[in-house]
Amino acid sequence: MSIDRVALVTGASGVLGGAIVDGLAAAGARVGLLARRRDRLEALAAKHDGLVLEADVLDAAQLERARDSALERFGRIDVLVNAAGGNVSGATVGERSFFDLPTEALDEVLRLNVLGTILPTQVFAAAMEGGSIVNISSAAAHRALTRVIGYGAAKAAVENLTRWLAVELAPRGVRVNAVAPGFFIGEQNRTLLLDDAGALTERGRRIVAATPAGRFGEPHEVADAVVWLCGDAASFVTGAVLPVDGGFRAFSGV
């Protein structure tokens, strides 16, 4: 699949964000890589002759400067992938009770995932004439998973936002969809899913047992779905949430 587009990816320094950059670049897109730390983006940007955009997705002024830099370099913006987000340990239960969850941690995880999707969309979509926006949700938005109360609620909000934006931006010719990954090994969840020897933890075994595909996903599998949503093959797809979870969402566990 060939995509002759300019694509900006927030959260490009993460495992999934980086894979999405690789996938879009391999499909022919010119890429802008956005994250808070420039040093984490340099090597990936050099690999694809991409543009490093150092910005916090919660800072509108930084995002506006990044948009201006992208327009100066590329002349247009066709694709926005909102891959910035993640969990916040303080907003999880397990070591603490639900009744002891700190408001500050819940606010942080909601801001990171929800406002961290809204603000980049406000800033970058204002410069888009047609094109595609893809938000990153999670299997946690669809099924109640232990521990991750704040993250699950935040990603559920991202999916509602995706549908709302699909309607709002349709007159501008901008399609808005989301991808809902299942379980992938990343920096934040590695110790929850794998022990020091690389074997599955109890939580990891339970997840694999509840996934019909019988394994964790590979980052490129999310990237492939994003590339499809950004291309002409998905030209009549908007307001959709595409699960990339090995069947986790489909399986009741019974």
Active site residue ranges: 151
How would you label 196-209 residue by residue, b for 16+ Cβ within 10 Å and e otherwise? eeeeeeebbeebbe
Residue at token pair 């694809």: 48
Please name which of 27, 81, 71 lies closest in space to residue 51, comparing C-alpha atoms: 71
Q: 25 φ, ψ to 5°? A: -65, -40
**Three-state SS for 196?**
coil
Given a contact cutoff of 8 angstroms between Cβ atoms, the answer to whether 127 and 73 are in contact is no
CA–CA dist 215, 121 (Å, integer): 33
Residue 147, classified by CB atoms within 10 Å of its CB into exposed (0-12), middle (13-18) or buried (19+), is middle
Sign, CA dihedral 11-15-16-18, equals positive
